[in-house]
Amino acid sequence: MNAQVQVSAPILAVEHVAVHFGGLIAISDMSFEVREGELVSLIGPNGAGKTTAFNVITGFQKPTKGRVLFRGNALSGLKPHEVAGLGLVRTFQRTSVFDKISVFENVLIGLHRRTAPSLLGTLLGLPRERKAEEELREQAWEILRLVGIAHEADEPGGSLPYGDQRLLGVALALAAEPQALLLDEPVSGMNASETARFVELLNRLRAKGITILLVEHDMPMVMGISDRIVVLNYGRIIANGSPSMIQNDPDVIAAYLGGGVKHA
Amino acid sequence: MNRYFPLVALVFFAAVPLWLQDQYYLHTLVVAGIFMLAAMSLNLLLGYTGQLSLGHVAFFGIGAYVSALTSLGFDVTVFGRQISVEPWPPFLGLLLGMATAGLCGYLIGKLAFRVRGAYFVIVTISFAEVVRLVALNWVDLTNGPLALPGIPPLTLGFEWTGYVTLWGKAENYYVVLVFIALAYLLMKRLVQSPYGRAMIALRENETLAVSVGVSVTKYLVLAAVVSGAVAGLAGGLYAHYIQIIDPMIFMFLNTVTMVIIVITGGKGTLAGPVVGGLIFGLAPVFLRNYVGPEVQWILYGCLMILIVFILPQGIVPEIERWFNRAKPDRRNDAAGQEGSSVLALARSGRANH
Amino acid sequence: MDQLLQHFANTIIMGGTYALLGIGLTLIFGIMRIVNFTHGELYAFGAYMMYFFATIIGMNFFVAIAFAIAAGMLLGMLLEFSLLRPKRGADIDTTMLIMIGAWIIMQNLEHLTWGGIAKSIPSPLPETPLVIGPISISWLRLMVLVIALLLIAATYSVINLTKLGKAMRATFQDSSTAALMGINVNAIYTLTFGFGSALAAAAGALLGPVFVVTPTMGDLASLKAFAIVILGGLGNITGAAIGGFILALAEEIGAGYISSGYRDAMGFVIIIIVLLFRPTGLFARAERVG
């Protein structure tokens, strides 16, 4: 599974990031890189700081120290929507979809970044804007088909089966045209067949050249799909390497066994 | 059927003055229409972006005062400098009032959206109260509590066509109807465009909206500008129709009326403010024979609480659901699938409240 | 200079009642997070009850104050029990709309019951003011200040020193844990709302005899109370007390040096400035808005 990736420039670089909440240290000092086209997984016991790392990277949380670079540009001070605007898009563990809005409209909202209609044109109902809207709808269908939930387009997001909600979350993020996609526990709560379907989807995304950073507890899946794995424990990186290296790393084994984590 | 309904309604209301000659009823309809327009503007903020602006009457009043003052002309001294303005044609005044209210929407939007929830509500109320106190105390400009009488009615036409002055109720009725139709169309295009989708996304889940690149400031400020301008337009129409305004126009109760209209009709729906506006615009016609204004307000207050308790989405969504129930329900298929039953239960539970 | 001293004296007199109003609301808005538009109506209710007990029934002035406060507490508890308890946990907009409805109903009921004409409540204290050097203060206002300060001290002790106060703080920090610890959470909610309402009614009962009583007197009181709470930081009792005095000072200065018409505008200007530059209030610890 570990397709040899060409050594390319890092698309995403996390440099000495630290996050303190008052006296609590969520991340003490974290540095890692993700290269163009790679699929990197960020793993670690609960409370290791994985979601906090996602929040820092996507601008939802200001780091106490350090910085994040996307294609060589520092993201410091950018608001979340500006980070998304650069093509660095994330999904969420919990609030993953607009649950009262139809699946199709969900994706249309996700497509926000791809349209820049003129306000005047919109208010006047100009043909140009109508055409743009039609194209947008076509794109939404494409994404729904890619993800495999097109048959549920009219359902409200919140009424979808759990696994499909996670897929819709990914569809939303995909609609935002990510160059790098950050997925926060996308398969948690999915059954085996749903997970298998999701892995297929990830492979399709990789084929499109999208770089992926994954936070996940499902170890067989992580081991199977990742090019590289970064292991966090107590806000620090304790290992960084290929799946086979990680599986045999004594620090990682100690962290998982010592931490008594059930997911491993 | 749903698609043509607004058009049918427009034709119906356009025909009303043909058979309704009673001046009092026409007057009631004109005032109802003006408040409907104001409520439509509030709905953009309250219904589509989810921001409860309780200072909305400020935009209404600013539109009224600016339009009234520019069409009356005024002399005022600001910081030792004399400013004289000759009377403008009322329609230009109306546009200027709209623009000023829109500008205030921009400023309030820029400033107030830094704080949300309860704080936003309180900032907007404070803004309205400050404007009211300025209108009350800047006597040189506004005449203060003595009111601003003799505001000219709207005139239609150009130099080369000659002018028509709208003195009558029926003429004003049509002007208001045209503006309501335009505002409805404008709101419809806005909320069904990517702009409106962004606003709805922010209302439903701000974190998620932001994560796909929706800018909070941009869309909330846009909503505030459009909302302020339309409210200003309603205020201007009010000033030229009633022909006298005083600082009481800034009463908090006027904001409350707009809120009740939107909540009752259905916030976040295009037809909501129209339905609510008709109900509350026409309610006084029926109530005035039986009860005084205090009891009327008490009834409004009770209705507001009742709506929140039994019909939190308002009348229009309830009617829509009623219509949809007649159609075959496809939703049941999805609910049968594994995993969704709990969510479906949670949803229906929420809907029952 | 003399004028300035007089302004300061007025500030302290008014500040006491404002503090009372603010502390009442900081319990409800600051701690319970209910945007309580009826606060001003409870203030008006307190004033009308004072009029009823002292002027109509002819009770002793001080006993009437106590009765008015008790009536305010009961009404507050009734409001919480009937309107807020069924909607506990609803979003802030929902409770806000309910409270706006309640506010309209209460105000118009007052109008209906007492009529639109202002009522005055005669006080038993001497008419001639107390003159100290350049300052003159009416005895009535001095008494109002003293009672207000006593009530503030009492509130502070209840919240910080008694078991009830501890239960309140526990409930609003984490109501499910508080419930597990055996606290009757429902009772605490009702009681706290009643407590805050009692303080608003107290402010009304105290100021009723100073000014006149009208059905719309509550409108500005509500908004001023919000200004005080925001100034002092949500839920901060000391902050609300200081905020009350700051608002009084700002109004004195606004009325004395800008224009008396702008006295009432000061509170709103303060709200806008504080929220824009220091949204957590002047005395708040780090706390996030929204």
- DSSP codes, chain C: -HHHHHHHHHHHHHHHHHHHHHHHHIIIIIIS----TTHHHHHHHHHHHHIIIIIIS---HHHHHHHHHHHHHHHHHHHIIIIIGGGTT--HHHHHHHHHHHHHHHHHHHHHHH-SS-B----SS-SSPEEETTEEE-HHHHHHHHHHHHHHHHHHHHHHHSHHHHHHHHHHH-HHHHHHTT--HHHHHHHHHHHHHHHHHHHHHHHTTTS-B-TTHHHHHHHHHHHHHHHH-TT-HHHHHHHHHHHHHHHHHIIIII-GGGTTHHHHHHHHHHHHH-TT-SSPPS----
- Using an 8 Å CB-CB cutoff, list chain C residues near B133: 261-262, 264-265, 268
What secondary structure letter does DSSP report for A15?
A: E
Listed in order, strand segments (DSSP E) in chain C are: 130-132, 135-137
pLDDT at C145 over 60: yes
A113/B158: higher pLDDT: A113
Side-chain half-sphere of A245: how many Cα atoms within 13 Å?
12
Amino acid B273: pLDDT: 95
Please give the average per-residue pLDDT across C238-254, as a whole number.
Answer: 90
pLDDT band of A113, cuts 50, 70, 90 = confident
Amino acid A258: pLDDT: 63
- Is B137 in contact with C108 (Cβ distance < 8 A)? no
Residues C231-253 as b/e (b if ≥16 CB within 10 A, e otherwise) read bbbbbbbbbbbbbbbbbbbbbbe
pLDDT at A37 over 50: yes
Taking a C-beta distance cutoff of 8 angstroms, is the pair B84, C233 a contact?
Answer: no
Q: Is the reported ipTM for this assembly greater than 0.95?
A: no
Strands A73-74 and A65-70: antiparallel
- Is C104 in contact with B297 (Cβ distance < 8 A)? yes
Residue B60 to chain C, least CA–CA distance (Å): 19
Amino acid B287: pLDDT: 84
Q: What is the pLDDT along chain B (353 residues), one digit of tens a residue?
A: 467 888 888 888 888 888 888 888 899 999 999 999 999 999 999 999 988 888 999 999 999 999 999 998 888 888 778 888 888 888 889 999 999 999 999 998 887 777 777 788 888 888 898 899 999 888 888 888 888 888 888 887 666 666 777 778 888 899 999 999 999 999 999 999 999 999 999 999 999 999 999 999 899 999 999 999 999 999 999 999 999 999 999 988 899 999 999 999 999 999 999 999 999 888 888 888 888 888 989 999 999 899 999 988 889 988 888 887 766 544 444 333 333 333 333 333 333 33
pLDDT at C239 over 50: yes
Cα gap B113→C2, rounded to integer Å: 43
The alpha helices in C132-184, defined as continuous H runs, are 139-161, 163-173, 175-180
Beta-carbon contacts of residue B64 (< 8 Å; ≥ 6 apart): B97, B235, B236, B238, B239, B245, B249
Please give the average per-residue pLDDT across C128-141, as a whole number.
Answer: 84
- Is B347 in contact with A156 (Cβ distance < 8 A)? yes
Token pair recorded at residue C34 = 């209910």
Chain B within 8 Å of C21 (Cβ-Cβ)?
Answer: no
Q: Bridge partners of B77?
A: B82
What secondary structure letter does DSSP report for B148?
A: B
Amino acid C280: pLDDT: 67
Chain A, 93 to 112: residues with Cβ < 8 Å from chain B are 95-101, 105, 108-112
Token pair recorded at residue C130 = 């107390």
Q: In percent, how much of chain A has pLDDT > 70?
A: 94
Q: Which of B52, B130, B298 sits opposite C105 (nearest CB)?
A: B298
Taking a C-beta distance cutoff of 8 angstroms, is the pair B212, B204 a contact?
Answer: no
pLDDT at C194 over 60: yes
Q: Which domains are seen in chain C, by residue range?
A: 2-88+100-277 (1.10.3470)
Q: Bridge partners of B245?
A: B148
Q: Which residue has the tokens 């109370």?
A: C225
- Using an 8 Å CB-CB cutoff, list chain B residues near A155: 331, 334
Neighbours of B80 (CB within 10 A): 5
Cα gap C264→C247, rounded to integer Å: 10
CA angle B30, B32, B34 (to 5 degrees): 70
- Using an 8 Å CB-CB cutoff, list chain B residues near A125: 189
- Using an 8 Å CB-CB cutoff, list chain B residues near C261: 133, 136-137
Mean pLDDT of chain B: 85
| Lowest-pLDDT range of C128-132, C246-250, C278-282 | C278-282
Side-chain half-sphere of C103: how many Cα atoms within 13 Å?
25
- Is A136 in contact with B194 (Cβ distance < 8 A)? yes
- Using an 8 Å CB-CB cutoff, list chain C residues near B136: 261
Query: What's the full length of chain A, in residues?
Result: 264
Chain B within 8 Å of C86 (Cβ-Cβ)?
Answer: yes
- Is A172 in contact with B208 (Cβ distance < 8 A)? yes
Q: Bridge partners of A13?
A: A33, A69
Cα gap B347→B353, rounded to integer Å: 10
- Using an 8 Å CB-CB cutoff, list chain A residues near B215: 79, 81-82
Cα gap B38→B44, rounded to integer Å: 10
- Is A81 in contact with B214 (Cβ distance < 8 A)? yes
Q: Which of B115, B119, B256 sits opposite C100 (nearest CB)?
A: B256
Amino acid C283: pLDDT: 64
C287/C160: higher pLDDT: C160
Amino acid B336: pLDDT: 36
Q: Report the candidate in B247, B222, B257, B34 with the shortest Cα–Cα distance to residue B128.
A: B247
Beta-carbon contacts of residue A101 (< 8 Å; ≥ 6 apart): A109, A156, A157, B200, B201, B204
What are the pLDDT digits (tens) for A168-197? 999 999 999 999 999 998 888 788 888 998
Neighbours of chain C (3+ CB pairs under 8 A): B
Cα gap C87→B300, rounded to integer Å: 20
Nearest chain C alpha carbon to B299: C105
Cα gap A247→A241, rounded to integer Å: 10
- Is C223 in contact with B301 (Cβ distance < 8 A)? no
Q: Which domains are seen in chain A, by residue range?
A: 10-259 (3.40.50.300)
Cα gap B279→B295, rounded to integer Å: 17
Amino acid B335: pLDDT: 37
Q: Which residue has the tokens 């520019």?
A: B70
pTM value surpassing 0.90? no
Burial class (CB in 10 A: 0-12, 13-18, 19+), B262: buried
Chain B within 8 Å of A229 (Cβ-Cβ)?
Answer: no
Which helix (H) or strand (E) segment holds residue A42: the answer is strand A39-43
Beta-carbon contacts of residue B287 (< 8 Å; ≥ 6 apart): B295, B296, B299
Q: In which region does residue A71 sit, left (phi positive, over 0), alpha (psi from -120 to 50) or beta (all else)?
A: left
Cα gap A249→A117, rounded to integer Å: 52
Q: Bridge partners of A68?
A: A14
Taking a C-beta distance cutoff of 8 angstroms, is the pair C36, C28 a contact?
Answer: yes
Cα gap B231→A10, rounded to integer Å: 51
Q: Which residue has the tokens 């939190």?
A: B312
- Is A155 in contact with B331 (Cβ distance < 8 A)? yes
Residue B265 to chain A, least CA–CA distance (Å): 19
Beta-carbon contacts of residue A48 (< 8 Å; ≥ 6 apart): A232, A233, A234, A235
Q: In which region does residue A88 sit, left (phi positive, over 0), alpha (psi from -120 to 50) or beta (all else)?
A: beta
- Is C112 in contact with B294 (Cβ distance < 8 A)? yes
What secondary structure letter does DSSP report for B87?
A: P
What are the pLDDT digits (tens) for C72-120? 999 999 999 999 999 888 888 889 899 999 999 999 999 999 988 889 8
Q: How far is CA A229 from the centre of its chain?
A: 15
The alpha helices in chain A, defined as continuous H runs, are 50-57, 80-85, 103-110, 119-124, 127-147, 162-175, 192-207, 219-225, 243-247, 250-259
For residue A232, which phi and psi values (nearest 5 degrees)?
Answer: -105, 140
